[in-house]
Each structure stands twice: as structure tokens, then as C-alpha cells.
Structure 1
Amino acid sequence: MASGRHVTLLLLMLGYAGWASGGCREAQLPRDCEALCSFDQHGQVTSCELRAAVLLVNNSKYEISLMKVMPVLDLAVAKARSLGLLPYWLKLTFFPQDDGCDATYAQIGAIDSYSSCVHVFFGPACDYCVASVGRITKFLNAPLITTGGFTYDFTEKKVTCADEYFMTVRMGALSFRDIAFVFIDQMKRNRWKKMHLLYDTNGQNVVAGRHTCQLMMKSMVQFVKKEEIDYGTFDVDSVHVKDYPEVLRDHIGNVYSVVVMCANATTIREILLAAEELGMVDSGEYVFFSIELTSSDNSTKEPWRVVGDTPERNEKARKAYQALLTVTTRTPDNVEYLNFSREVKSLAQSRYNFTFGNSSVSTFVTAFYDAVLLYALALKESLPDKPGEVNLDGGNLTRRMWGRSFKGITGYVHIDENGDRIADYSLLDMNPETSKFEIVANYYGANKTLEYIPGKRIHWSGDRLEPPPDTPTCGYDGSLCPDNSLPGYAILSIVLSSIVVFLVVGSVFIYRHFKLEAEIASMTWKVHWEDVIVMPSEKFKAGSLYSLAPNKQRGSQLSIYSEDNMSLPGGMDRRSFVPTGIYKTSKIAIRPIPRNKVEISRPLLLELKRMKDLQHDHLVRFYGACVDPPHCCLLTEYCPRGSLQDILENEQMKLDKVFRGSLIHDIVRGMGYLHASDIRSHGNLKSTNCLVDSRFVLKIADFGLHELRKPHPLDPDEDRNSYAYWRKQLWTAPELLRMGRRPAEGTQKGDVYSFAIIVHEIEMRQGPFYLGNASNLSPREIIEGVRRGGGSPLRPFLDETSVDEEVASLMDRCWAEDPAGRPDFAGLKEIVRKINKDSRINNLLDNLLSRMEHYADNLENLVAERTADYLEEKRKCEELLYQLLPKSVASQLILGRSVIAETYDQVTIYFSDIVGFTSLSAESTPLQVVDLLNDLYTCFDSIIENFDVYKVETIGDAYMVVSGLPVRNGMNHAREIARMSLALRDTVMTFSIRHRPNEQLKLRIGMHSDVIDDNDST
């Protein structure tokens, strides 16, 4: 402190007046006590003392006692000093007083402390003590900061000095009013309208002194009344433990389902044991709540277990506690609080010779830490930075503590405008797996809401999933439910009827078993080879569609049966049709079994029977199997239109949206039926085994009987480097590709993936697994990419401009990398139905007629195109014929008539050749000779068009023309030939040989007039 500076003496004076006035003291009166400040030799203040009374019970059995609180206060002063809340010159001294949790001793301790010049009171904790001291401090003009004061009386508004607890600040993390709000929230949430309150008057008195639970229930009643909730009360302190079952029967019985209890842990356990004995727990119609005012170690407690009790009773108690929910104050679980708890224990042991034990420090005790910080915050706003005259008016300090928030050791502390701390609460339920209580919900006092913890739920007794009603349905003894017991004769009738039903059902099962065995033994699927009429083999002969359409051979074999899955004998050409025949007047496809001998086992017999019984509009029918060597084969329905792949690769076949939707719908219906049958899955679904019959109905083939379809084990394996080996796996799902030995029957999700690839083929018509024009991956590279998977797995290319959004979404879902993400065919049926909702197809008949109409239109277009091509070729042939023959002769020949010889009396013939043509040809190349003759005769032909003549023939360099036939021109024939000859001569004079431009071409001309026969001319 600077020398020479005079600082006025700090006056810390409180006054006292008679209590009879009923008001607060408005002026500070001096007290006869020692000076609280120290002075230096110059008379300046060097330090001052601030005295605080601590009114608590000096008994460690209480939750809040002097030996537990004093180390907390010491740590709080050190923290306030480090935060700069207490000036360096001010010393805070605590004066502990034992109030014995008695109102009289509390009043005496308050008067004694006031006589010792204390300026603030911390405590007391017992409610009766808080009430008596709170009324005194109003007249002493000193703040009272307590962690007690739980009853609703202390929450009344403190607006004026005339109010009873005008100088009281409540710092405790508990309020009976707020606990009542927690239960009211539960009542509203679960639609409960009535409840029963069981309490032990002096239960949990270590928290708030005498009558703690009675005061708790008194507060509860005040707020339950306002909500118009029906309630009942009973004090178990008035009866013996052995009478608890009778209390439950008489006061709860079949009237109340919701029971709220406040008592010691031992009493709660005995009440729940009595409830379990009465059957209230097993019935699931009752729920018990326990109000636990202490807050330490909530999540690890096992209150049902009592050391020293029998294992049988402990087990009964554990079962009974399943019907219990506990409401308690919320305990901090952060690291800072746990470290502080250990620090308090250490200081209590070293400075106050007190041991807490293994449990953590209660929030009631640590609340005094926050109380000192709150008082220091208000004090800092009233004291100067240096020693001097200050105003320690208790009323002013108290108001500064109201309506503020700060960070304390238990978290953020919120003091409302009435000087009461806003606290939070937890709802605990016993986890049936660990038998320990866990927090399932928290009640936040700031907004008065109960919020459940995500992933947690209440385990209601009786394995209920919902809370019970507020009134028992049947009651603990079932007396509320009507007696539905049957008389003896009715019971006898039921027993006899049950025996009869059992015998009938058993007989049905036995009959069906023997019938199944008889059907298996009868082998209705078996076909004898002599009953099959084999049709002659025909190559590339199909219906009118294929006879009109050119076969592009883009990988398809135009097979009647699936070529990929055919296991043909060696040497048979896959491009030929599958063998066909007649069996019982039905045309069938004969599929050879790739082995000479078939061993018939019971599983194979059962599967053959199932295949024989399997019939559906969109599944290829199985007629039977022939197992007579060497004609082992499968007989199936014949589909003359070939496979779906054949149709898609036929560019002349136009597929509109309706037709494409019909094909997709057929696949979905067929596969849906197949998955629902005993076959379960296909395993090798492709566009090549989707066959089309004569009515353009798509049918699924190559399912089931995988034991007969696979090659013989001794047959050589297929070449893994061949194109065909990898190509036929383009439809296989990635999870199957990754298997070392994939099942022959596949999986249902794998079939969905294959269906997506087929849909892509139908929509794009670019073959299986089309990746766009820019991609040139081989089938093997594609399979490796699909097997590899990853975040962006390899999938076919989708052209968004040509594929509907709904269909594209369908494909994306069906070829998802995760099989669980793919829909099943039952769900696909609904999806496809929605996609086709705007089409004209409503039923099977409309579907068939629409397809046949589309097929007929397609044929008409093909016929029209072929007719136009034919007429164009005919026109070209006629033009050529007119150029080769006279028009009159050509016309007769075109009409199919014979040409009659005719004599012409007046005809002149012109003939010419090139002089020296032989030597000229010898000296020229063949191409030069051709160019010469072509140039010359082109020139001649352009000249003779101007005259009435007809060119007969040109042979080498000879050129022959006639006039007077085939059209007679009278006497003009000689003149026309002469004029033409002169024109040709003049042209030759100026004609230039391309490869000999300096050489003159010479033409020798002859003419002759005579009678001629047109047979000679032709």
C-alpha cells in the first residue's frame, strides 16, 4: 500500500433490533466487538477480517455435517482467492457452530455468532433449523446461504422485507417442489390420473433432519392437488414391517397402480418384498417410485442386495426391484468433479481427521463450495480494491446473489430471481441384465422437461413394453377379472375335442406322408425313350420373324433353348437348335444329360417330383426325364420364339415401352413364384434362359435339377481362358463371384442381381453388361472388376436420356453391392406394377393380344421394307434390259410373251472399225486400250442419240448401227445413216487419244441398204 495514502477504516457493522417489529433492519447499528481491521504505524489499514458462521450438525451420520463441509469451505476460499474474487487485504474466517439439527440450538448458534461479529451465515441444512434461522437473519441484516431448505415453504416469493425468508439464498441441488414437478410430468406423460404416496415420517432424516419424508410428501400433495390428481397417503412408520403386506392390500390393493415412496433404503426394500409376495411385481400392473434424496453413486448401487441376508431373499428383492424407478438429484460425472471429490477427502483426512470412505462426496456437501463462490462474486461488487469504507449491507449482498449464473464445481449454477438454485434430477431404472440401476432420463429444472437418454428405455415389470394403467386391470390377486373358469363337463369336452383334433391332424400328416412317398415311388416324372418321337434336326429355321430378319450373329445363336446352359455332347454345334420331339401330343425340347448313367437318390427323386408339380405361366414346364441309357435327357416345354437375348439382338424387332415392361413383368412374376416354391432360387438367371413362346409370353428355364445339369466329374473342365467361360458369368452377383465354391442353386439375392443385368439388356439392347462405346473391357476384365467391388463397384452403363428414371432406380437397387440392400421379387412385383401403371396392359388376355398386335405390326413393316427393295431391284433390271434390247422386244419379254420374227424391207446398216487398231493395241497397255475405247464409244453414243438409228452391237473396235428398225421410218433410213456417218467422221477428226495425243485416229466406215429379218438384228 502506497505511503502517505490515507484509507478510511473499514467498518463492518451489523445492527440488531427487536423481532417484534416484523420488518427488516434498515440501519446498521454498531456492535460491541473487537476491531476487525489491522493498522500500520501510520494509522493506515493493512488488512481486515470477514467472519462467516457455519451452522451445521457435528455428526457424520448426517449427509451434511461440519467435518464434511469444512474442507470444502477451505478449498472454496482458495479458489475464490485465485480467481481474484477476494481482495488480498481481506481475510475470510469461518466460525463453526453445532446446531444439532435442532431449531433451538440453531437459533442459539446464530445469536452467538452474531455476537462474535459474523457477517454471513452458511447453513444450516435441516429444514426446521433453516426456518428458525432464516427468520432471525432478516432482522440481523446478514445473508443466510444454505444448501438445505427443501420444503415448498422456502420457495415462496421473497419480494419485500416483510417476507419470511427475505435474506435466504438456497444453494442446495434439491427442492421438494421440483421433485413434485418430476412426478407430475410422469403422470401426464403416461396418462395417469391417480397415485398413492407411501412414506416413513422420519425416513432419510440424515438429509434434512426430522420429518424429512413427511415434509417431502406434504410438498408433493400441495402440487398434486393443483393438477387435480387423485391421491392417497399412508405413513408406514405407524406399522410393523410384518404388516407391510396388509398395508399394500388395504391402501393400494386393486385401486392404485402408481405408488410413490419416500423412506430409508431398508424400508423401501421391505415394501418391495411385500409387493413381490402379493404378486404385484409379476402381474406387471404396478409401478413403484422411490424418492432418493442422496445422490452419490447412483449408477453403481445395488439396493436390493443386503450383505448378511439369505440368497433367497436377495434374489426375491432383485426381482422386486424390477418394478422400481428411482428419482434422485443429478450427480456430476465429469473428471473435474471426481478430482475435486478426491481432493476434499484428502483435506478432510489431513486437516480435520475425518475419513469419507469409498463413496464420492455428496452434492449436498460440494454445494457449499458453490455457495462461497456465489458470496464472493456478490462481495467483489461491494468491496473496493484497497482497504477502505465499504458497505456490507446484508440485503444488498443478498439481492446481488439472486438471478445470476456462474460455473461451479458441480457444473453451471443458476440462481433464479427468487434466490433459489435451479437443479436437475435423474430417473433411474434397473437394468435386468446387470441388475444395477442406470439413468434412463433426466429432468431439467430450467425448462421443466423430462428428456430420455437415447438408446435407453424403462423396463416395466411383467415384461410390459408400455406403462401400466393407473388402475389395475385384474389386480394383484386377479379378483377384478371375471371368473372365466369352465365347468368340469366343458373341460372334459375340450380335452376330448383336442384329442380328436390331434388324431385328425396326425392322420392327415400321416396320410400326406404316405401319399408323398407313394408319389415319389411312382416316379410320375419318368419318361421312356420309346414314348418320345424325335423330330428331324433343322438348322436356322424359325418362324416368319427370323425368315424376314437378317441374322446379325452378335453373339446369339438363335437357339430355341438356352445355349449357355446346354451341356451338349462333344462335337455338337451350339449354333444348331436343341433337339425337339413329340411327347403325348405336345411338342417338347429334348435336353441331353451330360452323362450316360444317372444314379437316382432320394433327394433327386424328391426334386424331380417338385419339378414335375411346378407349373406357372412364366416358368418353362418340366414334362419329365428319361434315364434310360444312352438316351438320358430332360424333356421341357418347347418355346419356338427363342431366347430373350435373340429378340433383343434382332435389330428388326421393335420393342416399345409397353412391350419392354411386359417382358420385365413376366420375369418378375416367374421368379417370384420360383422363389416362393420349394426350388427357392434359380442360380443361373440370364437372358439366354429367358425363353419366349409362340404367344410372346416370356418363361424362365434352366432352374432346379442342378445335379443332372452339371457335367460328369470325369469330364474335362471348361477352359478358364476362353471367352465363353467369362461371358456367361456376366450375370453373376459379386458375392457369388468371390466364393471359392459357389452353390449351384445360387441365392435369392443373387437372382435379383441377375435380374437387374437382364433389365439393363432389355432397356439398352447392347448385350449383357454394356459399359458404353468408350469401353473395350473383355468379359474377364469385367468379372474381375465386379468381384473387386469397392466404394464405386463396376456396373453397366446407364443412358439417362433413353432409360426412364424409375427403371434406372430399379436397376440401381437390384444390383446394389450389399445383398441386404436388394429388394426381393415380392417387392419387385409392386415396383414393376407401379412402373407399368400407365400402360394399356390390364390382364393376361390384354397382355397377349397386345404382344400379338405388336408382332403383327412388326411383320407388316418388314414385309413393306422387303417389297420396296424388290420393286427397286425390278426397276433396275428393266432399265438394264431396255439398254440391252430394243424397247419393243424388251417389253414383250418383260410381259412374258415370245418375240415373233419380223421382216423389214427398207433398212440401212452402218459398220465401222479403227484403222491400225491391232498395232495400236499392241503398243498400249490394256488399261490404255480400255480408256481409248471408252472415250471413243462414249463420244459415239452421244452423237447417235441425235439420229433415228439403233445401236446393234460393239465388239472390240467394231461399231454397228442400223436405221429402219425396230421402228420403221420409210425412206429416211439411208439419210439418217449417212448423216450420222458424217457426224462421226467429223468427230474422229478432232478426237484426241489420251495416251497418244499427237497421233490422229482414223475411222473406216461402211454402209449397206437391204431387206433384213429382225432375228438377224438380235
Structure 2
Amino acid sequence: MALPSLLLVVAALAGGVRPPLARNLTLAVVLPEHNLSYAWAWPRVGPAVALAVEALGRALPVDLRFVSSELDGACSEYLAPLRAVDLKLYHDPDLLLGPGCVYPAASVARFASHWRLPLLTAGAVASGFAAKNEHYRTLVRTGPSAPKLGEFVVTLHGHFNWTARAALLYLDARTDDRPHYFTIEGVFEALQDSNLSVQHQVYAREPGGPEQATHFIRSNGRIVYICGPLEMLHEILLQAQRENLTNGDYVFFYLDVFGESLHAGPTRSTGRPWQDNRTWEQAQALREAFQTVLVITYREPPNPEYQEFQNRLLIRAREDFGVELAPSLMNLIAGCFYDGILLYAEVLNETIQEGGTREDGLRIVEKMQGRRYHGVTGLVVMDKNNDRETDFVLWAMGDLDSGDFQPAAHYSGAEKQIWWTGRPIPWVKGVPPLDNPPCAFDLDDPSCDKTPLSTLAIVALGTGITFIMFGVSSFLIFRKLMLEKELASMLWRIRWEELQFGNSERYHKGAGSRLTLSLRGSSYGSLMTAHGKYQIFANTGHFKGNVVAIKHVNKKRIELTRQVLFELKHDILENDSINLDWMFRYSLINDLVKGMAFLHNSIIASHGSLKSSNCVVDSRFVLKITDYGLASFRYC
């Protein structure tokens, strides 16, 4: 590339003899040489430096030394400090320009602080440089920085009364200079310092990444800040649209400081960041979702001096560096370098007039603190940390019919104030969303209903309970009616005339019933018998051909009260009022086993119809087996 022969001398640092000291101001530059994706790349900044040197003219002749901090197309944390050391060793500069990338700037700034050499840059946006301790005490940032972005965001939160929480999503590949991480870092620290609950997450560019992002958003905040490529924003918004997160309960701030999403591209028009090479359905979904998006960018200086400077910058870049630059916010960085050089020259002139020298680096840097200066980028205001106050623009979809984004507000860093343009922000619900709605995040609050039911669910639940109660009541009423019917039926009652007394009474004259006790092979002992062959049990008779036992009750009158009727229906095992412990149950089971063993060893051999109704309990609570025998009679 061709450089201005009278203004620029490229340092060849591979060796050689140190040149003799000159009276001219020596300005050394450490910036990337070729990669135009950096706003501080030398082809972008070089024309501005040349214009600044020309502006100084003969009053302050300048010798310019440039070295590249670029390695394999990217900023090199390893190469930049080595080149800075060579510049110091061979050229002893009065002022260092750059680097713009964070990690190289940190390394070079430490050396500059040790050398007490002013280091001026319009990059190095990281929040860590805000504290000008012993490591960065000579660093001067004349361009935008992340802490200033954080100040703007805090002002926004104060305006909308968002005082509780926020969620941050950003892309961080941990390669190159991590621009998205260092940009959103200022927002994170500023909101945390304002006592907000701030959660952050790295966006995963992999299958499932959008789902993870929306899950994080739903769990952590309604005010969401996103920093990354435009494609990343599209992926998140499409998923948010599918999950109904674009219904107005959330707002998405897209940190696009250079406004690249608002520029025309191969698939989108100017001011329409929602346009993309997608299907018609996805394009419409994105357009609808972008109504919940607010874009934050740097503010382009509105003064005519900047427009003239930008025109000259583009011409010099084409003529001297052979590159075609387009009007964009990236040119703001070149303007900040330009203003920084002239600001340094002004302070240096004051220092010399006060009896100082160029070597008084710390004194020069201190005099730049709090300085106000009108440059090509407008009013340059340096704070007490030698960081420039930065202006921002808040963009919103100002025209819902066309979907065009327009400025909704301007932020003045010098005045710490937001100026609204008069175009209302098109909130989906007509008002800004709440950052901490009741019971959305604080689920431990006892006043929150953790399982809220809809009106339909409440009606359905009430109807179901009513039906259940009706069913249970009906069953209980039916059961009671059946019980009363059974008690009133008295099917158990027989008349005395229906009993027949036959031969058994004549043969034995009331001696009792007789059962054959011939138990062949029985292992059980013999029983006491009457007449040597029969055992006496009770008085018997016949009822409808069945032998029945008859018990005489010594009562003149029997009243069948309700209690007596219930006692006649007593069932030991099925009666809930009688609590049977397991020892008693085992006793009954043991009786059952003995009875069955008795039958199996007898001529009867088997029961044939054993069931619970054939097991009865006598007055001594001994289980007896009934309804056995007569197999041929039963099954013929």
C-alpha cells in the first residue's frame, strides 16, 4: 500500500542502527495492518492520523512510526508488546497510538505505564481499563468504552423503573479479542453496581442453542441484553416467538454499537434488521418479534465538521491505502484517534509553556483529565479516569407498517441524560414490561400461588368434587336401604310347626344327634361317645328335609329389637367393628388347616366347595368348616 511519503515513515525493526534524536514529535503506532473488520485497523485509522499530522502543520512537525500488531489476520497479544518494546528501543517515541484490541492493549499499556509514556487509543473498550492504577496510569481512551455503555443502560433502567433484575446473553468463542464479551461486560458491571440481580450466559452456537437461550431468559429476566452477530439474534427471536416470549412481557436490547444490523446488506434493506434470507413464514415471524427489540448503537456526530472529515477520510483511504471504505459508525473510531492526537498536541503545548517537556508523560496525562475539547467528532469530554464520555442512540421499530427502525432516543454521555425524539416506542402491550412481575421469579413469596388455576380448571374441579360427593352419598344411602331391607326380611325366621321330629327322637329319647366316628387310619384320638358309637351334640329336628340343631332359650318373651337383628347378622371377619389382630387371625387359619387335614384323612377326602361363607365361628371363636360331603348328591 502507498503511504504519504512526507508524513509517514514505516519502521523497519528487524535490526539496524538507532537513528539520532530529532526535534520533531515522534508518534508510534501499534495497530492491525490488514484486517478491516477491526474499526481500528491501520487502513481505517491511518488516513485520520495523516490528516491530524497535516492539521498540526509546521507548528509541531511529526515523525510517524508504524508497526503491525497483527498475526495471521488477528490481533496478537504476543506480537504487540514486542513491537512496542522495539519502538521504544529504536525510536523513543513521545506518544504511542493503539492498540485497539483489548489483550494487546493490556500488555502494551503496562509497558507504557512503566516508561511513563502516554498511550492514546480509541479502542480497548474493556471495563478493566477504567481503573487507572499503576498498570494503566498513562492510558488515555479517546473513543467509546464499555463502562460508558453501562452508564447509558443504567440511565435507561432508571427511566423505565427497572430496578430488580436483568438477563444477559452473548457470544464468546474465546478466540481473537472476544469483542462481544468485552462490550456486554460494561452492562453487567454497571447493573450489578446498581444492586440489580444480573444473570449472564454464553450463547451456544449448536443444535439446541436457541432453546437453551429462551429457557435461560424465561428463568432469569424480562429485560434481556443480547450481544452477538445478527444471525444469533434471529435464532433467539424465532425461538422466542415460538414460545410466546414476544407477547410484550419481555424486551430485547440488541447491543450493536457500530449499527451494522441497521445497514443495508445482501438480504436486507437499511433500517430493517429483521430481514433475512429465510422463508416467508420465518420472515413474518421475525418482523413481528422485532417489535420487542431495541437496538443500541454509538451516536454518529451530527456536526458538519464530522461529515466533512468522513468524506476526506474515505478519499485518503482510497488514494493512500487502496481501500474502499463506506460511511459507517466504524469511521467514528478514526475520528476519535484524530481528536486524540490534536488533544495531546494541545496539552503538550500547555505543558511546554508551563516549563515542562515532552518527557513529562505523567504530567501530560494528568492534564488531559476532565478536559473538554471541540473536535471533528463533536464535544470531546474526558472524565477523571481519562476515558471519553460517549453518546448513544436507542433505535426502535418506529414504523410498524414498513418495519423500519428509527431513533427513539439519544443519550448524551457528557450530560448523563436521555433526549427522546418524540417517536413512541411501540410496546406490544402499550407500556414497558415489568422487570420483576409478582410471582414470576420470587417463588418463595408465600403470597404467590405456586399452582394457579384458571377459571375453567376451577369449575371443572368443583364439578368433579360435586359428582364424587353425590356418588359417595348415593352409595351410602343404597347400602343403608339394603341393610334395612335385609333386617326387615327375616328370612331366617321359621315357624315351630314347620319343624319335624322323627326317629332320632324315638330311638334316643332326646339323647342328641349322632355322628359316625369310624375314622379309618385317623391319627386323631377317639372322642367320648354315647352307646359306644355315637357322639352327642345337641337336640335336633328336621326342617324341609334338613337336620337342624334346636336350642331352647329360657325366655318367656323374645323381642326382636334392632340390636338383636344386628347381632343375628354378625360376621366376625367382615365386621369392621370387630378388630382382629394377627394372632387371632393366625388362630382361625390354624383351625381351618386342621379342619381341612381332618377332611382329607377321612372317607370324605375333600371339601369340594371351600369358600369364606363355608367357614363359620362358634361361640368359643373356633373356626368350623361347613357344607361338605354328599358329593354324589351335589353333582348328580
Q: Could you say whether these structures have the same fold, taking a TM-score greater than 0.5 normalized by the shorter chain as the test?
A: yes
Q: C-alpha distance in 2, partners of 1:213/1:132?
A: 20
| Helix, strand or coil at the partner of 1:130 | helix
Q: CA deviation at 1:396?
A: 2.6
- Which residue of 2 is the match for residue 181 of structure 1? 151
Matched, 1:64 2:34: no
Which of 421, 437, 449 pairs up with 2:417?
449
- Which residue of 2 is the match for residue 864 of structure 1? none
- Which residue of 2 is the match for residue 201 of structure 1? 172
Closer, same or farther: CA 297–309 of 1 in aligned 2, 3 Å? closer
Q: How do 1:91-106 and structure 2 match up within 5 A? A: 91-99=62-70, 100-106=74-80
Asked if 1 retains the 8 angstrom alpha-carbon contact of 2:261 and 2:273, the reply is no
Matched, 1:396 2:363: yes
- Which residue of 1 is the match for residue 604 of structure 2? none
Q: How do 1:360-375 and structure 2 match up within 5 A? A: 361-375=330-344
Asked if 2 retains the 8 angstrom alpha-carbon contact of 1:157 and 1:418, the reply is yes
Q: CA deviation at 1:219?
A: 3.7
Q: CA deviation at 1:70?
A: 0.5
Matched, 1:144 2:83: no
Matched, 1:171 2:142: yes
- Which residue of 2 is the match for residue 294 of structure 1? 258
Q: C-alpha distance in 2, partners of 1:293/1:360?
A: 8
Asked if 1 retains the 8 angstrom alpha-carbon contact of 2:110 and 2:135, the reply is yes
Asked if 2 retains the 8 angstrom alpha-carbon contact of 1:36 and 1:50, the reply is no
- Which residue of 2 is the match for residue 248 of structure 1? 214
For residues 820-876 of structure 1, give each alpha carbon's deviation from its aligned partner in whole angstroms, at most 9, with x where no partner exists.
xxxxxxxxxxxxxxxxxxxxxxxxxxxxxxxxxxxxxxxxxxxxxxxxxxxxxxxxx
Q: How do 1:439-838 and structure 2 match up within 5 A? A: 439-453=407-421, 455-461=422-428, 464-471=429-436, 482-485=453-456
| Helix, strand or coil at the partner of 1:253 | helix
Letter in 1 for 2:274: W
- Which residue of 2 is the match for residue 87 of structure 1? 59
Asked if 2 retains the 8 angstrom alpha-carbon contact of 1:286 and 1:472, the reply is no
Matched, 1:76 2:41: no
Q: CA deviation at 1:361?
A: 4.8
| Helix, strand or coil at the partner of 1:380 | helix
Closer, same or farther: CA 72–485 of 1 in aligned 2, 3 Å? same
For residues 881-936 of structure 1, give each alpha carbon's deviation from its aligned partner in whole angstroms, at most 9, with x where no partner exists.
xxxxxxxxxxxxxxxxxxxxxxxxxxxxxxxxxxxxxxxxxxxxxxxxxxxxxxxx
Q: CA deviation at 1:101?
A: 1.4
Q: CA deviation at 1:34?
A: 1.8
| Helix, strand or coil at the partner of 1:417 | coil
Which of 427, 435, 438 pairs up with 2:406?
438
Letter in 1 for 2:188: V
Q: C-alpha distance in 2, partners of 1:489/1:396?
A: 79
Asked if 1 retains the 8 angstrom alpha-carbon contact of 2:29 and 2:97, the reply is yes
Q: CA deviation at 1:480?
A: 7.8
Asked if 1 retains the 8 angstrom alpha-carbon contact of 2:371 and 2:381, the reply is yes
| Unpaired runs of at least 5, structure 1 | 1-30, 38-47, 492-1018
Q: C-alpha distance in 2, partners of 1:194/1:263?
A: 21
Closer, same or farther: CA 401–186 of 1 in aligned 2, 3 Å? closer
Asked if 1 retains the 8 angstrom alpha-carbon contact of 2:148 and 2:186, the reply is no
Q: C-alpha distance in 2, partners of 1:383/1:361?
A: 34
For residues 58-90 of structure 1, give each alpha carbon's deviation from its aligned partner in whole angstroms, at most 9, with x where no partner exists.
211222201111011111112232xxxx526x3
| Helix, strand or coil at the partner of 1:233 | strand
For residues 266-298 of structure 1, give each alpha carbon's deviation from its aligned partner in whole angstroms, at most 9, with x where no partner exists.
1112111111121111x2111111112225695
Letter in 2 for 1:274: Q
Q: TM-score, normalised by structure 1?
A: 0.39
Letter in 1 for 2:209: D
- Which residue of 1 is the match for residue 314 of structure 2? 345
Closer, same or farther: CA 261–241 of 1 in aligned 2, 3 Å? farther
Closer, same or farther: CA 384–186 of 1 in aligned 2, 3 Å? closer
Asked if 1 retains the 8 angstrom alpha-carbon contact of 2:44 and 2:331, the reply is no
Letter in 2 for 1:260: Y
Q: C-alpha distance in 2, partners of 1:105/1:401?
A: 29
- Which residue of 1 is the match for residue 30 of structure 2? 55
Q: CA deviation at 1:472?
A: 5.6
Q: CA deviation at 1:383?
A: 4.9
| Helix, strand or coil at the partner of 2:87 | helix
Letter in 2 for 1:243: G
Matched, 1:33 2:18: yes
Matched, 1:409 2:376: yes
Asked if 2 retains the 8 angstrom alpha-carbon contact of 1:414 and 1:422, the reply is yes
Q: C-alpha distance in 2, partners of 1:152/1:254?
A: 27
Structure having the higher Rg? 1
Q: CA deviation at 1:378?
A: 2.0
- Report percent identity of matched pairs: 26
| Helix, strand or coil at the partner of 2:373 | strand
- Which residue of 1 is the match for residue 243 of structure 2? 278
Q: CA deviation at 1:377?
A: 0.9
Asked if 2 retains the 8 angstrom alpha-carbon contact of 1:202 and 1:210, the reply is no
Asked if 1 retains the 8 angstrom alpha-carbon contact of 2:27 and 2:62, the reply is no
Q: CA deviation at 1:340?
A: 1.8
Q: C-alpha distance in 2, partners of 1:188/1:210?
A: 32
- Which residue of 2 is the match for residue 713 of structure 1? none
Q: C-alpha distance in 1, partners of 2:314/2:452?
A: 57
- Which residue of 1 is the match for residue 197 of structure 2? 230
For residues 24-44 of structure 1, give each alpha carbon's deviation from its aligned partner in whole angstroms, at most 9, with x where no partner exists.
xxxxxxx9832233xxxxxxx
Asked if 2 retains the 8 angstrom alpha-carbon contact of 1:245 and 1:278, the reply is no
Asked if 2 retains the 8 angstrom alpha-carbon contact of 1:199 and 1:213, the reply is yes
- Which residue of 1 is the match for residue 83 of structure 2? 109
Q: C-alpha distance in 1, partners of 2:369/2:356?
A: 24
Closer, same or farther: CA 229–390 of 1 in aligned 2, 3 Å? closer
For residues 85-134 of structure 1, give each alpha carbon's deviation from its aligned partner in whole angstroms, at most 9, with x where no partner exists.
x526x333232323441221110110111123122110100111111111
Q: Once superposed, what is the RMSD of the aligned Cα atoms? A: 3.1
Q: C-alpha distance in 2, partners of 1:109/1:154?
A: 21
- Which residue of 1 is the match for residue 350 of structure 2? 381
Q: C-alpha distance in 1, partners of 2:393/2:328?
A: 19
